[in-house]
Structure 1
Amino acid sequence: MTLDQITVGMEQLINAKASEILSSKPQDQHYLNWRDMQEVCLVVKSACVKQFNEVPQGVEMACYLAEAVLAPDKKAKLKLMKQVISLTSGTTGIAIILAGVGAALGWGAGIVTTVTAFFIGTSMLGPIAAMAGGAMLAVIAGYFIFDNDAPTLSNKAIDALRKGIRGALTEYWKERGGQLGNRYLSDN
């Protein structure tokens, strides 16, 4: 399989799961909530395990960031940001994942740069920097607080997931693409 085939497949999987969830909801609640997004992310992670025998860290990051968009309160958003920080130490391509998520959420270049610098700085300096950066973490969690228009927020979260996954898969392919491409070519 090629990177394009895997990426398109993941996006179709995201769309299909979101559509399945939405089809079971009443018309006046035709949007995803936090629990629904967790379910979509679980399907994405399961597909990664089936495809790659692991969940790439970038995919986990993209899932946590998408979940943060729909998290019910600032405390839940902070918890998700801390989970992202715990993954950044070994993840290359943090900037590309955050750029995709930021674009989907309508962040300006300044916010994307600030958030990226924080995560990259935290991953380079380790856990002490993460603890010291608590105030900055709260600010970043604040970037995930939006108005209460549930349908718009639901669309932003799905778009953030798609774009974050696209960036994560691109970076994963750079690291392991030769091995994966050869493996899947020999399987077919």
Structure 2
Amino acid sequence: MYRAAAATERPCEGVAAAATTTIATGTGAGAAAAGVAAVAKAKQQHKKLQQQQQQNAQEQQQHSNSLCSSSNISSSSSRMRRSSGSTATAYAAAECAGAAAAQQQPMQQQQHQQPQQQNAQEQQQQQPMQQQQQQQQQQEQNAQEQQQPMQQQPMQQQQQQQQQQQQQQQQHTSELLSP
């Protein structure tokens, strides 16, 4: 049980060990390059797993408890008894990591859907406010347009009165000047 649990907690160590054995036993530049690529891939997977564990620490504990149940532990331990070396450890770790990734996908989809729902709610809240602002601006513009004719009418009346007074004064002066 302890071996299987250790394999689930450190699934990348088996892959790294397999990569180092590939480098040690392989010949030529091709084998060395493949080994370096495998080590880099193992480090990358380990880094991703660490990030996921930091984000979902409680959920990871629940997943590890449910994934490595009695049937998985017994099958993994029997495989490790039959074979030797890091290959069995890497196989059991890859099996548990694959199952964990399969169960984490719905959670990641749910986390991805939550921001989309939040954005949709924010857009719905912003639309009525924008409509309200547009209506207020239009009402203010209409009120200003209605006030303008009312302001123009007194000015027109005043101009007409001034013209009439000027005409009357001209007539009066012309009458006075006429013999």
Same fold per superposition (TM over 0.5): no
The higher-RCO structure (CA 8 Å, 6+ apart) is: 1
Whichever of the two has the greater Rg, that structure is 2
